[in-house]
Amino acid sequence: MDDNGNIVGVISAHDVRLVGSGGDLLEHLYVDYPTYKKLLSSKYKIPSHPVVVSSSATLSDVIETLIENKIHRVFIVDNGKDGSSVLGGVVSYCDVLENMLHHK
């Protein structure tokens, strides 16, 4: 998150595996996030910004967002009193599957 509370990015397990696979990204292990994101997006298709939904989104909305964006997690945000984004949580595919499995 930046100084204004906005989500600037995420590093996933997939991103970490890319660093270790083939070794071509290993040299970038110690660069800052903006530089890493730029390097990664030049080689792979990644979202240009973190995908978010509001806390009023339904589970159906979250699933649709995950599928449409071909991502594994979505951030739940709302606007704070000062207009900044307030992170409320993260919902992943695993969370969705667990919910579906245990709430028949």
- pTM here is 0.68
The residue that leads in pLDDT, 61 or 39, is 61
CA dihedral 33→29→11→69, nearest 10 degrees, is 90
Domains of the chain: 13-102 (3.10.580.10)
Give φ, ψ of 66 to 5 degrees.
Answer: -60, -45
> Helix (H, G, I), strand (E, B), or coil: what is residue 83?
coil
Distance of alpha carbon 24 from alpha carbon 20, whole angstroms: 8
pLDDT digits (tens, 9 = 90+) for 7-39: 777 777 766 676 656 556 666 667 777 777 777
